[in-house]
Amino acid sequence: MTSATLEADGEKLLHHLETNPNNGAAYDALGIFALDNQSAPEAIDLFSKAIQLDGPVPRYCAHLGEAFARLGDYRRASACVGQALVGEPTSSDLRWAYANLLHLHGENDQAAKNYEILVAQSPRHSEAWFNLGVTRSLQKRKDEARRAYEQAVGITPTYAEAWNNLALLEVEAADLNAAEACYRRALLVRPDYRDALYNFAVLLQEEGRMPEAISIYERLVAIDSGFSEAHNNLGNCYMKMNRLSEAQNQYVETLAIHASHREAPMNLGIVSLLMGDYARGWAGYEHRLTQNDAIPQNWKIPRWDGKLRKGASILVHSEQGMGDTIHFARYLHLLTNAGMLVDVFCQPQLESLFVNFPGIRRCSSSLEALTADPLNPIDWQLPFPSLPHLFRTRLETIPSPSAYLKVSAGNLESWRQVFAELPTAKRRIGLVWQGNPKHRNDHNRSLSLHLLDELLSTPGHQFLSLQKGLTRNSLPESIIDLAPLLVDFNETAAAIECLDLVISVDTAVTHLAGALGKPVWTLLPYAPDWRWLLFRDDSPWYSSMRLFRQPIPDDWPSVIREVKRSLLDPL
């Protein structure tokens, strides 16, 4: 219908009202005309006049509800359509509209009841089944939601949205095979379905199936090039495959689309560090402080600005794991050598190790003990991992790659006595094969004890466990368990000093051995932490360290075979 025809119809209705001012149907018709012309406020006045004249006629009430809905006023809209439903309780169309408006208004309990009435009246109404599933999901009634979605796809097998939502429920139930099947059904009928592509890619990514996830993400960004989260996740997958330049490009693309993206700046920093681009990397790494797992501190002490001031006091505090604290402790020398008064706040397990760190003023695992002392005020504070950024560290300027931690003479002597009571051996080797299970990447960096069987058969070597958290009698007889004596990292450090070699996955112990200057072989997953770089078997952070890398993802057996061959080399 042309605009000229609409205008003529409107003039006819107005003329009719001039001669019949009490005709409710005419007001209703003129209200529909106003709605068609995108004038919802005027339509509301006209529908209200129709109801005032003729009473709550169902179609007048329904039209008034539609007008309120156009304005986003779902409370009044649902009330109006509910009034219409009182007059026509068997109307499927009114029931559908009423339930949808209740859902939009957030009244999911009432919405679900009306969807249930509707599917009882019209059991083949697949959209009603779908919306019932949505409301049941919001109510955390997962089994009922699943049944509703199953009804929807049973009636309409091509219902892609229902397959997608059913897949999400299967993911929550940890039935990942079923979830994958549902995503594939959704994408079979709608290959360009954005939500299903994204959710399926996330599932594959979380399962560690990176090549498959990359394929789906690449399809997704080809369809929707402005989907910043897909670009960011694609970058994460590329990084897990050590395709670093491609990862870097995706993070840059993410920020071009969404300049305030929460994760991409840090991801760009990490991939830059992994590439050895420390100039860009440290700046990006500072964005870790905006992440969900950052430890919040409402510091009243100002953050250190990087200027070395003789006599000024600074509190350097732990932020992440104990390995990170040990790793970045090398920077304390730079502060103390410049004449700054350095206090250290660290984890309790590290306190006895750091308390004797040369040049520092105080060390404690109690923040209050450090900050509430009026005799030793603190001018500045900074977390350990921010030190490289402020010192503008580059690969060629990494401080203290050799030993920077020391063990007290008394502690060392006690451990020498412990080792004197052990059987003699060609070489004594400390082992750590698992990290902290709470670490988000622990499933990649840790390995199972049985994978060490081939290594333990190496003749002439004595293997000693530095692994904490083991159950009694869980070690084979070929390993001597030192764990009961390792009450803190000071004891662990003294034990390491008495060893010939430490072989460890990427944990705090490998950092400790490197910080002590002891020979340490670090076993790395295919996609390592940023500090180990790529394609090298040494570390610029620790001169006594040798790196053994997985040649392909999850291939620990190859790593263990290479370690054994190296153990058999002449000393």
Residue 130 tokens read as 């779908």
Q: What is the pLDDT of residues 72-130, one digit of tens each?
A: 999 999 999 999 999 999 999 999 999 999 999 999 999 999 999 999 999 999 999 99
Q: What angle do CA 532, 533, 534 make, to 5 degrees?
A: 120
Identify the pLDDT of residue 1: 37
Residue 5: pLDDT band (50, 70, 90) is very low
Residue 2: pLDDT band (50, 70, 90) is very low
Residue 137 has pLDDT above 70, yes or no: yes
Identify the pLDDT of residue 295: 57
What's the full length of the chain, in residues? Answer: 571
The amino acid present at 221, given as its one-letter code, is V
Residue 505 sits at φ, ψ, to 5 deg, of: -75, 180
3-state secondary structure 323-380: HHHHHHHHHHHHHHHCCCEEEEECCHHHHHHHCCCCCCCEEECCHHHHHCCCCCCCCE
Distance CA 145, CA 134 (A): 7
Distance CA 493, CA 484 (A): 14
**Residues contacting residue 43 through CB under 8 Å, at least 6 positions apart:** 31, 32, 34, 35, 63, 67, 70
How many helices (DSSP H) and strands (DSSP E) are in the chain? Answer: 28, 10
Judged by average pLDDT, the poorest of 442-446, 455-459, 499-503, 537-541 is 442-446
Distance CA 503, CA 513 (A): 10
Residue 342 has pLDDT above 80, yes or no: yes
Higher pLDDT, 268 or 23: 268
Q: Domains plus CATH for the chain? A: 3-224 (1.25.40.10), 313-397 (3.40.50), 409-568 (3.40.50.2000)
Q: What is the pLDDT of residues 215-243, one digit of tens each?
A: 999 999 999 999 999 999 999 999 999 99
Residue 426 has pLDDT above 90, yes or no: no
Residue 7 has pLDDT above 60, yes or no: no
Percent of the chain residues past pLDDT 70, beyond the cut: 94
Residue 548 sits at φ, ψ, to 5 deg, of: -120, 120
- From residue 158, how far is each of 154, 162, 168, 509 by CA, in Å? 9, 9, 17, 55
Average pLDDT over residues 272-290: 95
Give, as one character, the DSSP assignment of residue 314. E
Q: Which of 154, 155, 153, 156 is nearest to 165 (CA)?
A: 153
**Residues contacting residue 428 through CB under 8 Å, at least 6 positions apart:** 419, 422, 461, 462, 464, 498, 499, 500, 501
